[in-house]
Amino acid sequence: MTAAPATLASAPPGTWRLALRDRSLLVDRRAFVAAAVLAALVVAAVAAGLAIGTASVPLGRTLPAVVGVGEARDLLLVRQLRMPRIAAGLAVGAALGVAGVLLQTLARNRLATPDTVGLNDGATAFAVASVVAVSTTVTPSAFALVGSATAAALAIGLAGGTGHRGYRFLVVGLGVGAALGSVTNLVLARAPIDEANRAFPWTIGSLNSRSPAAVAVLAVALAVVLPVAVVLGRQLRLLRLADAVVTGLGQRVRRVRLAVVAVAVVAAGLSVAVAGPLGLVALVAPEIARKAAGPRVVPVVGSALAGALVVLLADLVGRTVAAPLELPAGLVTAVVGGPYLLWLLLTTRTRRMP
Amino acid sequence: MSTVEAPSAEPAVEVADLATERLDLGYDGTRVVHALDLRLPPGRVTAIVGPNGCGKSTLLGALARVHGPQGGAVLLDGRDLATLRPRDAARRIGLLPQQAEAPDGLTVRDLVRYGRHPHQGLLRQWSPGDAAAVHRALAAADLLDLADRPLDTLSGGQRQRAWIAMVVAQETAVVLLDEPTSALDLGHQLEVLDLVHDLAARGRTVVLVLHDLSTACRHADHLVAMRAGRVVAEGPPADVVTPALVRELYGVEAQVLRDPTSGTPVVCPVRRVREG
């Protein structure tokens, strides 16, 4: 094509077009603003999480403490105790948000999340089994990932793919999740009490004293998986339409599905490996992101940020609401998310996703 | 605001020659279409008709690579369609399947933009060509005034026109539409069929699956009548549609009259006849 002046390629309303010669990117303005606002809220939640607790650190002293300046007490609270768990919360929340929005888009159903299609149950079952039954040299994190992949493979295999309306995938996933959940219970019931005690934290999501190694693995995985999910964004938008439409537009449906499932499995599995199953984050976070980003996009980044925000807030609430007693973040998300799930089931046409 | 150039001239549509060669189609175990040899006249409107389950929608899907053949091939300009890259095929053949649904809140323009997908890439997300094609498609479907309305606020006919506009924006030589007028009232049907005529008038090969035989006669240049996965008759509607054909297709005794305005066949069913 002859070099047309860039001004002629007026971007569609509501978008910014960034162009360099014949290369071009289209940024949805509403989605961009939504992500920026969510990012600001995440920053605020991080600051609050670092400052607030059974022993508070004034905000003015929190930031210096982060970079290692301040009294020994502040340094202990901020750097030793709170920073690791907030890093874990960020990574876990982002991973759950991404896994949720991917699975929902894949199944064209808002109820499809790592919790509901069994990925979290699979990861938990394998992690628990590894603590109880297998010699502890193998990290439960690896087992959580394998468990999540197993659950996905079972659900997809038994459903004969993820196609059509995704109902079958969802229903089969529920069954797979229930079966794997009972495996967890069985293993815990049969195990000696000490080992069951050691495995128990894997059955309820919490950011308390999580393995820094697992957090690091998840962070690295996110660094790979998030860009992949962002690059898949254009294809994800298409996946919201019927398969025949998508094929007609020249997109290889199966290939995109496979990539989406792979990313979701890695994100969900590793999040369980870090924090155990944090219920309903993956359901709520994409919902927040979609409301904010509008119907044009599938908000991958927005869902990651919303997920991080939800987990950080849940952890903060869990740490403060009944202090000095600490409620696990997974309990908080379940208490808040449960009614929301009910409301969603009762009010929405689940066939279409906004 | 959009300062798009005045509706720019549409790039000349290269004519595509779409045909099938001993094409077998089916879903695990059941054969739906048998050894079908068919050639779709370039630049004309072809209507595929036949009773429910005769394989017409399956055939249309195969022409757009939604189902792969179990035997034989779909040929585009003499080349096996299955050997083309999906994106290249989608630049030549566009498909609107039945009962397409869009996410809530999507606007007409958002939907029509999807039609540009096969022309775009990761680092080529919006070109001047895309802007012009979307504008032309909206104009062709008479939707410029409604472009920024959410689809769920439109009438059935307008929504269907928006979906067709999506396929139009794809700027393919072949446009395949599966029952584009079903569930529309008479006025909305004509609204959609007028658009179909415009497409063919601009040199595109249009293939429609239609339920109603009289509508097909009125609006198609070429009729393909299918029954049980085989073509039983093919040609200009006036030559093909006879009481004998209606009986063979639907098991219905009918009178075939002439439409007083267009002179095309009109089918008036008389009674159902038992098939042996």
- The contacts of residue A344 (CB under 8 Å, 6+ apart) are A110, A111, A283, A287
The answer to whether the Cβ–Cβ distance between B97 and A244 falls below 8 Å is yes
Residue B207 sits at φ, ψ, to 5 deg, of: -125, 125
Query: Given this model, what pLDDT does residue B5 score?
Result: 44
Question: Does B106 reach chain A within 8 Å, measured CB to CB?
Answer: yes
Query: Given this model, what pLDDT does residue B257 score?
Result: 93
Residue B196 sits at φ, ψ, to 5 deg, of: -60, -45
* Contact of A237 with A297, CB cutoff 8 Å: yes
Average pLDDT over residues A80-95: 91
Query: Given this model, what pLDDT does residue B213 score?
Result: 93
Checking if the pLDDT of A3 tops 50, the result is no
Query: Given this model, what pLDDT does residue A53 score?
Result: 82
Checking if the pLDDT of A198 tops 80, the result is no
Which tokens sit at A55? 């022993």
Q: Which residues of A touch B97 (CB under 8 A)?
A: 242, 244-245, 248
State the pTM of this model: 0.89
Interface of A with B (CB under 8 A): 1, 4, 7-13, 15, 17, 22-26, 231, 234, 237-238, 240-245, 247-252, 294-296, 351-354
Query: Given this model, what pLDDT does residue A138 score?
Result: 57
Which tokens sit at B93? 């053949």
Query: Given this model, what pLDDT does residue B10 score?
Result: 66
CATH 1.10.10.60 fits B18-100+107-236, yes or no: no
Most trustworthy range by pLDDT among A111-120, A144-153, B262-271: B262-271
pLDDT tier, A213 (very low <50, low <70, confident <90, very high otherwise): confident
Checking if the pLDDT of B18 tops 90, the result is yes
Q: Which is more confident, A325 or B85?
A: B85
Boundaries of every domain in chain B: 18-100+107-236
The DSSP code for B102 is -
pLDDT tier, B3 (very low <50, low <70, confident <90, very high otherwise): very low
Strand partners of residue B230: B227
Q: How far apart are CA A157 and CA A176, in angstroms?
A: 11
The answer to whether the Cβ–Cβ distance between A9 and B95 falls below 8 Å is no
Mutate to test the interface with A, among B84, B93, B106, B160 (most CBs of A within 10 A): B106
The answer to whether the Cβ–Cβ distance between A249 and B99 falls below 8 Å is no
Q: Which residues of A touch B128 (CB under 8 A)?
A: 4, 8-9
Query: Given this model, what pLDDT does residue B8 score?
Result: 54
CATH code, A89: 1.10.3470.10
The answer to whether the Cβ–Cβ distance between A17 and B117 falls below 8 Å is no
Does A132 reside within a domain? Answer: yes
With the CA atoms of B215, B220, B223 and B229 taken in that order, what torsion angle do they form, in degrees rounded to the nearest 10? -70
Query: Given this model, what pLDDT does residue A183 score?
Result: 87
Mutate to test the interface with B, among A241, A251, A351 (most CBs of B within 10 A): A241
The DSSP code for B124 is B
Query: Given this model, what pLDDT does residue A164 score?
Result: 53
- Domains contained in chain A, number: 1
Domain that includes residue A256, residue range: 28-347
Query: Given this model, what pLDDT does residue A2 score?
Result: 41
Looking at residue B259, its amino acid is D
ipTM associated with this complex:
0.90
Q: How far apart are CA A13 and CA A10, in angstroms?
A: 9
Let me know how long chain B is: 276
Q: Which residues of A221-256 are buried (b: 16+ CB within 10 A; e: fewer)?
A: bbeebbeebeebbbbbbbbbbbbbbbbbbbbebeeb
The answer to whether the Cβ–Cβ distance between B103 and A240 falls below 8 Å is yes
Checking if the pLDDT of A129 tops 70, the result is yes
Checking if the pLDDT of A4 tops 50, the result is no
What is the enclosing helix (H) or strand (E) of A12?
A: none
Residue in A closest to B105 by C-alpha: A295
Strand partners of residue B233: B225
C-alpha distances in Å from residue A250, one per residue of A102, A244, B73, B216: 21, 10, 18, 29
With the CA atoms of A23, A29, A30 and A34 taken in that order, what torsion angle do they form, in degrees rounded to the nearest 10? 90
Average pLDDT over residues A259-279: 87
Does A218 reside within a domain? Answer: yes
Segment B255-264 long-range contacts (CB within 8 Å, at least 24 positions apart)? B259/B214, B259/B217, B259/B218, B262/B218, B263/B238, B264/B217, B264/B218, B264/B237, B264/B238
Q: How far apart are CA A56 and CA A50, in angstroms?
A: 9
Least Cα distance to A52 among A78, A70, A90 occurs for A78
Most trustworthy range by pLDDT among A116-130, A140-154, B30-44: B30-44
Q: How far is A51 from chain B (nearest CA, A)?
A: 40
Q: How far is A24 from chain B (nearest CA, A)?
A: 5
pLDDT tier, B276 (very low <50, low <70, confident <90, very high otherwise): very low
